[in-house]
Amino acid sequence: MPDRLAVVIPVYNHAAYIGEALESVLSQSRRPDRVLVIDDGSKDDSLAVMEPFRARGVEIHGRENRGAHNTINELIERASEDCQWISILNSDDRYLPQRFETCLATAAANPGKSVISTRLEVIDAEGQRMAEDEPRARWFYGVQSLADAQPDLSPAEWLGRGNFIATTSNVFARADYLRANPFRPYRFNHDYFFLAGAAWRDQIALDPGVHMQYRVHGSNTISTHPEPLIREMLRMHLDLLRHYAAELRADPELRVRFYDYMRALWDNISSCHAGMLHVMVAQLLQNVSESDIETLAQSVNGPEFEISPNRALAGGYDGTEPLSLATLGKKVEQLRAEKQRIQEDRDASRELLRLKGDLLRSRWISLGSLLGRVKAPRRNIGKTPAEKLAHFRSDCQKDGWLKLGSSLGSKTCRDLRTGK
């Protein structure tokens, strides 16, 4: 039975836009199983605009104002009663027609992930796409472009540079993960807190296509005065450090993604002052005793203590040119390439083990082996995991017994031949 999908929409004073938002949901190539809306005490005609949509299956509720984060969390609780996936849409944004189809396909291709996101485009109050050099749209397109110059940028490092996912409207997630990680009472950053934690946990999968539209207009939450956003950004990161302290202590792999995020945060474009964040940490430590600090320094353990953290960079001087940002940058790029190679080898090894496991469990292939018809996929050719995976896939595509099984309806044979 396929997973059920719900769309949840918090509404507040968006009578001018909620009709478009709902139409974008109901016109999807993969229709949602439920559409739930809560009007969060709107003072305009939002409820009246939505009323005709009841006849098209939209579940509409109204109540007093409780704030965006409370409204989203309440909608998630309702939707998770019978839906495994939930897509959040703010009432002034829109989906493009293949959003759900794309997100579900991305989820199927990444079974270990809980949060799916895509790229977005920016529209104005009238619903027209804004040019990439338009001042109000430039930041959104710019933060998305960071990965164009650096394709191996991880979600954690990318989010450290800036919240490229940008909005709760770009969150398509497992219902159980949303329930376990409710949105928090921020004015600007409830999506950022949720996304940063998901990235540290390696729970985000991305599709590179543009599948939603973020609307910029006069009543958007974020204003041009920077101080409220800067202060909330600092508070959010302190909350993140406290909330994930136990996981950071226990999980070395999570820490690696956390380090990528925090390193990128020093050059972020999301209004977080990384220096002031450390100043605030210093204030929190001011009343902690020296003995407690010493105890903490001696009690935290992990593989990080087995090797000097900057050994590769410290040895970057080769006697041919003075150390500089340029020479260190070359070393960083070499280390980044090595990191990417290791990750690719790890992914290839996991995929090869999965495919070989499917091979061993298949009754059709066991029969072919007894008859001497299946030979090629059992070879182990290649030096690196990626080479071995490529040869294995090639052998499966050429194998006549797998081809026959695929034509007779064997899903395992078909998947082995297509690499899925």
Burial of 110 (0-12, 13-18, 19+ CB in 10 A): middle
Only one residue has tokens 């098209």, namely: 56
The pLDDT score that the predictor gives to residue 205 is 98
Assessment of whether the complete model's pTM goes beyond 0.85: no
Helix (H) or strand (E) holding 62: strand 58-63
The pLDDT score that the predictor gives to residue 9 is 98
Across 2-16, 66-80, 181-195, 350-364, least confident range: 350-364
C-alpha to C-alpha distance for 220 and 235, rounded to whole angstroms? 21
The CATH code for residues 5-222 is: 3.90.550.10
Residue 392 pLDDT > 90, yes or no? no
Q: Which is more confident, 380 or 191?
A: 191
* Phi and psi based region of residue 41 (left: phi greater than 0; alpha: psi -120 to 50; beta: remaining): left
Across 19-28, 105-114, 391-400, least confident range: 391-400
Only one residue has tokens 């989906």, namely: 95
Residue 406 pLDDT > 60, yes or no? yes
Residue 169 pLDDT > 60, yes or no? yes
Q: Which two tokens stand for residue 226?
A: 């920077």
Per-residue model confidence as pLDDT tens digits over 266-278 = 999 989 999 999 9
DSSP three-state, residue 355: helix
Mean pLDDT score, 363-383: 77
Taking a C-beta distance cutoff of 8 angstroms, is the pair 138, 132 a contact?
yes
C-alpha to C-alpha distance for 15 and 17, rounded to whole angstroms? 6
Taking a C-beta distance cutoff of 8 angstroms, is the pair 18, 91 a contact?
yes
Average pLDDT taken over every residue of the chain: 91
Q: What angle do CA 180, 185, 188 make, to 5 degrees?
A: 110
C-alpha to C-alpha distance for 114 and 181, rounded to whole angstroms? 11
At 92, is the pLDDT very low, low, confident or very high (cuts 50, 70, 90)? very high
Only one residue has tokens 């009754």, namely: 363
Closest CA to 100 of 181, 50, 27, 175: 27
Per-residue model confidence as pLDDT tens digits over 234-289 = 999 999 999 999 999 999 999 999 999 999 999 999 899 999 999 999 999 999 99
Taking a C-beta distance cutoff of 8 angstroms, is the pair 381, 388 a contact?
yes
What is the domain partition of the chain in residue ranges?
5-222, 241-307, 312-337, 342-418
The pLDDT score that the predictor gives to residue 339 is 77
Helix (H) or strand (E) holding 37: strand 34-40
